[in-house]
Structure 1
Amino acid sequence: MKLTTHTDYALRLLIYLAVRNEEMPATVQSAASHYGISAHHLAKVAQTLVQLGYVISLRGRGGGLRLQRPAEEISIGALVRQTENLELLECFGPESTCPIEPGCRLKGVLWKAQQAFLAVLDGYVLADLAENRQELRMLLGSPG
């Protein structure tokens, strides 16, 4: 399964926020710069994370982004479920037109594989991805 760029950037932004100093909010521009990615695209991702309750956006001078809850409470599996379209095939949705769907076993096999994938992600929280905080800070050019 390949994750979308949106989910990839969401995970990157959450990691970035988790390894920063808590005293200073991060800006989309600084995160995008450290990762070498589009600030415009990352701003859309940040907006999604605000709407989903993972990130808080602080306005005004000294504003920016912060985690809305502790990294220990942010489930990677939950985030992926909220940011990905998990309909791997047309038959996963309600509008399937596949003529063999009633007798096809592929859907069941792929559903089972997807559940195993999500179960692994459910075993991790953001804090697990940011455990090596010092190394990540160094790789990102010491953000915050």
Structure 2
Amino acid sequence: MSTSTRTPRTPRTSRRLAALAVGLTAVLAASAGPSFAAPHSSTGPAVTRTAAAAAPSVVNPGNQVSFQYDSAYLPMTATGGTAPYTWSAANLPAGAAINASTGLISGLLRGSGIRTVTVTARDAAGATAYATFTWRVIRDACPRC
């Protein structure tokens, strides 16, 4: 009886898993954070990847309803981008204004009607974002009752 020695073959699934692991390592390394330095090898220089800052986004406050001659107080907020932000607004109700450095919309609402307001934030890098909402100012039937 003879015994033969066979060398085990590497199954295809093992090769596929190895290739998947290499690819997954590359993907995870690329998304590791804002700055990632690849390991230094003898065949080439190190590679440094820097992630771009996220674009700013203005948080939409939702549609607003107020009474005529009431005080407005609506703080606007933004996320992402590079602080500080510069704020501006278009088509605010009569009597309302936005603070360019804080994003606070305030004032005494004098007119009535429905306005489509657009608030824009510009970050320190010059990127802009905006939010649009409606603001309904209702004339009170009996303002002094």
* Common topology (TM > 0.5): no
Structure whose residues are more often strand by fraction: 2
| Higher-helix-fraction structure | 1
The structure with the larger Rg is 2
Q: Which of structures 1 and 2 has the larger relative contact order (alpha carbons within 8 angstroms, sep 6+)?
A: 1
TM-score using structure 1 length: 0.22
| TM value normalised by structure 2 | 0.22
